Amino acid sequence: MIRKNMLIAFTVLLVLFLGLLRPSYGWDMIAYVAASYQQDGYKGSELSNKTYSAVKAEVSNEVFSELTKGNYKNRVYADPIALDQQIPMYSIKVVYVELMRCIHKVGIGYPKCSRLISACFAALSVIILARLIAKTQLPMILLPIIVGLAGYILLAKLPTPDSISCFFSAWAILSLATKSKSNFVICVILPFMRPDDILLSVLMMGFKFFEGSKWSSLISLFISLIGYECINKFAGNYGWLNLFNFSFINIYTPYPANLVPSGRLDDYVRPYIAGVETLITERFFIIYALALCLLWIFKTKIRFDRKFWILFVIPLSFAAMHFVLFPDCEGRYFVFSTSIICVWLFSFIKRVRETAPQSG
């Protein structure tokens, strides 16, 4: 037990310190800092000055140059109106922005707040993963292996809300595995972490509905959907069609509020072709493919029990639905689902080995 706890502590601290000491600064940090300052009441050129001054004080000159270089980044840097139009796509991550604002009140700059939150929640996600590994009676030595394969260190380094999303998504799976009533509450709050987490809320409550908790699951999902709609309305979110065009067709226009969605079908097909081409080269796809291959090879040994649905079907369905709606294969979107599928994969391999006929 002592060795097991030491291994968990080592993995948690490794993820935490790598996130804090070796951050990967991306442009998204600027948008979240701007969203935080906007909530503080800043507008226009004052908002732009506060945002970029805070970022410049946090990063090196070389990094700041990268964050403001290029047509899109430079235009947003130069024009406060362009920066203001980016914010609705980021302020919808309500919990992340509000946590930044809370920590900022003790005197920590917003860029540092974003780093701290990402590193801490990535580390907390490791603890949830360790509990799930223990629940499935797998050896804890698999914890650092799964953490490395799934990309928890990537989450810890990125100043984005993806680590918060991973934490609550993994907690949701753990609550299902342990039959905890907290899964109904987690379902409600998931969209406040990242709006696309509503997909997991739907999958969770669909599972609970067919398991017998019909009214509880329907009520929780209904409240979750209301929360999702409220987040988008009050943040002034541009909607899926605008985001799709912004990300894949009219790529990174400085003025998304003025974007006119394409009416050409082929403009919407091309991102999926490119997405599939990228997907098959990603590390997490290899894990999914391996799981599906083993599922096919040993289909007669599969137990379609709660473990199968919770640890395989739900996370795989979440990843598939996420790709269908937004064919971006950045690994940060799939850390949660990859790690849970890894748990199922190792659990399945263990059971196949235990039930295999012994020679001699």
pLDDT in tens, the chain (360 residues): 778 889 999 999 999 999 999 989 989 999 999 999 999 999 999 999 999 999 999 999 999 999 999 889 999 999 999 999 999 999 999 999 999 999 999 999 999 999 999 999 999 999 999 999 999 999 999 999 999 999 999 999 999 999 999 999 999 999 999 999 899 999 999 999 999 999 999 999 999 999 888 999 999 999 999 999 999 988 888 989 999 999 999 888 899 998 899 988 999 999 999 999 988 888 888 899 998 888 888 777 777 788 899 999 999 999 999 999 999 988 899 999 999 999 999 998 888 777 766 544
d(C-alpha 268, C-alpha 245), whole Å: 8
d(C-alpha 22, C-alpha 28), whole Å: 17
**Beta-carbon contacts of residue 160 (< 8 Å; ≥ 6 apart):** 26, 28, 29, 32, 96, 114, 118, 332
d(C-alpha 348, C-alpha 311), whole Å: 10
Q: What integer pLDDT is reported at residue 353 of this predicted model? A: 76
**Beta-carbon contacts of residue 169 (< 8 Å; ≥ 6 apart):** 190, 193, 197, 200, 318, 336, 337
pLDDT over 70, % of the chain: 98
CA torsion, ordered 333, 337, 343, 349, to nearest 10 deg: -110
**Beta-carbon contacts of residue 135 (< 8 Å; ≥ 6 apart):** 174, 177, 178
Here the tokens at position 60 are 């090196």
Instruction: Report pLDDT digits (tens) over 48-94.
Output: 999 999 999 999 999 999 999 988 999 999 999 999 999 999 999 99
Instruction: Report pLDDT digits (tens) over 235-245.
Output: 888 989 999 99
CA-angle at 66, arms to 63 and 72, nearest 5°? 145
Residue 243's alpha-carbon distances to 56, 80, 132, 313, 321, in angstroms, are 28, 20, 34, 28, 16
Question: So where are the chain's domains?
Answer: 2-355
Helix/strand/coil for 123: helix
Q: What integer pLDDT is reported at residue 360 of this predicted model? A: 46
pTM, full prediction: 0.93
